Chain A
Amino acid sequence: MDDIQRKYVIPGDVITTGPYRAEENVHLFGDKIIATSIGISEVFDSGVRVIPLTGRYLPRIDDFVIGIVKSHTSLSWELDINSCYAGILPASDVFGRDFDPKVDQLTSRLKTGDLVAARIANSDRSRDPLITISDRDLGKIEEGELIKIPPSKVPRLIGKRGSMIQTIENATKAIITIGQNGYVVVSSEDPDGLLKALDAIKMVEEQAHVPNLTERIQEMLGSNSE
């Protein structure tokens, strides 16, 4: 029941002409709607947009992301979240509202190099995005291995209703935490399981556009079992 016309585009490709609204990743030139990113163009209702297949992570409110602490001031930490801008985690988010920079040392909770599971609290282009870790499933990541994939591949790694990620977790007994920003943490008590999981993630990244990928991953994981 697809009323959407899709095609592969690169920057400069004319997607269509006519009275359409220019949505994400396109621009208007005269009456032509032109792609500005490599991706899949969609013409729907009265609008045209392109879903990009490449590019850095663009923060959106409530996105779950994994960050790496880069540095800190006396009032906040700066996190690498694979975006054009660093993510800012205010000290008050961790220490509470009565945070006192003279008493509460930031490095006692998080230091440079720490991995953090976080959520985007606020994002507008005029300031660096604000991060929060004050929910139950957020906070410092104590164990696991970090692997980076392009943010555009994250939906493929998750799969329809989580099918791909569940396939990999079940076959390898690993726990995989996927940030929308393309940073992924894999942990497992079984070192072989860990390696298999990392291989599987790499394979998804490299073959994201190949059909029947879930079956091929299953085969690959099955054939490697003892």
Chain B
Amino acid sequence: MGVKKTDIVLLDDKGIRCDGRTIDQPRRIMIKAGVLKNANGSAYIEFGENKILAGVFGPRDVHPKHLANTDRGILRCRYHMQPYSVSERKNPAPSRREIEISKVIKEALEPAVMLENFPRTVVDVFIEILQADGGSRCAALDAAAVALADAGIPMRDMVSACAAGKVADTIVLDINNEEDQEGQADMPVALMPNLGKITLIQLDGVLTPQEYEKCIDTAVSGCKLVYEVQKNALRDKFFGDSAQ
């Protein structure tokens, strides 16, 4: 991990983090469903300084045809960062990191998406990172799940994602960019909240077995908070003022 450039205090003795949050406080989350005209489903999310757009097409014909599955639909996912999304311009060509994250996000959504009734089709999920902050893959997943529901793709459950991490020897919820660079561990997690299944989990950094369990717990609680925001985004679009 990087050389310290500044003397950021990651956690002071009052339990306040470098951006003023407490250890179990997530950053600000805003989600809007149905923001694009042409995509079958879409969503826009702001999660901390992350600004991410997700669009879904499908189920639709698969091209090239040899990728089609005769028994069920397939899911394709592309996580892509805009060149202006990070401080040093990012080359627009897909990097190995983006390809891995695309795969990991697809595998986080697959358990939820029900494509058995759509053989020989594909559901395409396109995620564009307009501005990146720590935890962009979780935010991307949160938008993608809302976009899939917006498109009417049948889903067993929503998928809600949030990261937890270790900073100054303490497990904290939803680490930001500075905490990611200077902290000790980063664990993004995605959860199907009603079925209780974790569909994404990765870790960079060192955790003791006890910290490992606490980190999962903390991330899961973050996922449940995000789930409420996703629900409201969909209810606002479809049920308007008559939402219960």
Among candidates B158, B238, B244, residue contacting A54 with C-beta atoms closer than 8 Å: B238
B179 at the interface (CB under 8 A from A): no
Binds B, one of A33-41, A105-113, A156-164: A33-41
B152 to A84, Cβ gap below 8 A? no
| In the complex, chain B residues whose CB is within 8 Å of the CB of A56 | 40, 59, 152
B103: Cβ under 8 A from any A Cβ:
no
Partner of B150, one of A7, A25, A54, A152: A54
- Contact between B152 and A55 (Cβ–Cβ < 8 Å)? yes
In Å, the complex CA distance between A55 and B149 comes to 9
B87 close to A (CB within 8 Å): no
Whether B40 and A85, one on each chain, are in contact in the complex, defined by CB atoms closer than 8 angstroms, is no
List the B side residues contacting A86 at CB < 8 Å: 61
A126 in contact (CB, < 8 A) = yes
B114 x A10 contact (CB < 8 A): no
Interface size of B in residues (CB-CB distance below 8 Å) = 37
Nearest CB of A to B90, in Å: 33
Report B147-187 residues with CB < 8 Å from chain A CB: 149-158
- B119, B157, B158, B240 — most chain A CB neighbours (10 Å): B157
How far is A209 from B149 in the complex, measured between Cα atoms in Å? 18
Of the candidate stretches B3-11, B132-140, B190-198, B208-216, the one touching chain A is B190-198
Residues of chain A with a CB closer than 8 A to B121's CB: 84-85
Partner of A12, one of B152, B157, B238, B239: B157
A residues 6-46 with Cβ under 8 Å of B?
Answer: 7-8, 10-14, 25, 27, 29, 32, 34, 36-38
In the assembled complex, A52 has its CB within 8 A of some CB on chain B? yes
Main secondary structure of the interface of B (DSSP, over half): loop
- A37 & B156 in contact (Cβ 8 Å cutoff): no
CA distance A161 to B42 in the complex (A): 33
Report the Cα distance A11→B148, complex, angstroms. Answer: 10
Chain A residue nearest in CB terms to B158: A12
Expressed in whole angstroms, the minimum distance between the Cβ of A67 and any Cβ of chain B is: 15
Q: A38-B149, A52-B152, A55-B151 are contacts. A12–B118 as well, Cβ < 8 Å? A: no
Residues of the A chain whose Cβ atoms lie less than 8 Å from the Cβ of B235: 8, 10
A84 to chain B: closest residue by CB: B59
- A27: chain B residues within 8 A (beta carbon): 114, 156
Q: Is A1 an interface residue (CB 8 A)?
A: no
Tally of A-B Cβ pairs under 8 angstroms:
88
Query: B125 within 8 Å of A by Cβ?
Result: no
For B155, give the chain A residue with the smallest CB separation: A11
Q: Given A36-B156, A53-B238 in contact, is the A29-B195 Cβ separation under 8 Å?
A: yes
A175 to chain B, nearest CB (A): 26
- Chain A residues near B242 (CB, 8 Å)? 8, 209
Residue of A nearest to B153 (CB): A55
Q: A38-B149, A84-B60, A85-B61 are in contact. Are A12 and B155 (CB under 8 A)?
A: yes
Give chain B residues whose Cβ lies under 8 Å from the Cβ of A25: 154
Q: Is A125 an interface residue (CB 8 A)?
A: yes
Scoring B residues 45 to 56 as 1 if CB is less than 8 Å from chain A, else 0, what string do you get?
Answer: 000000000000
- When C-beta atoms are compared, the residue in chain A nearest to B60 turns out to be A84
Cα-based distance from A196 to B119 in the complex (angstroms): 41
**A103 near B: Cβ within 8 Å?**
no
Chain A, residues 112-137, CB within 8 Å of chain B (1/0): the string is 00000000000001100000000000
Q: Which residues of A contact B (CB under 8 A)?
A: 7-8, 10-14, 25, 27, 29, 32, 34, 36-38, 52-56, 84-86, 125-126, 152, 209-210
> Can you list 13 A-B contacts with CB-CB less than 8 angstroms, sorted by A residue number?
A7-B244, A11-B157, A11-B158, A12-B156, A27-B156, A29-B156, A34-B157, A54-B152, A54-B238, A84-B60, A84-B118, A85-B120, A125-B119
Residue numbers of B with Cβ under 8 A of A are 40-41, 58-61, 73, 112, 114, 117-121, 149-158, 192-195, 231, 234-235, 238-240, 242-244
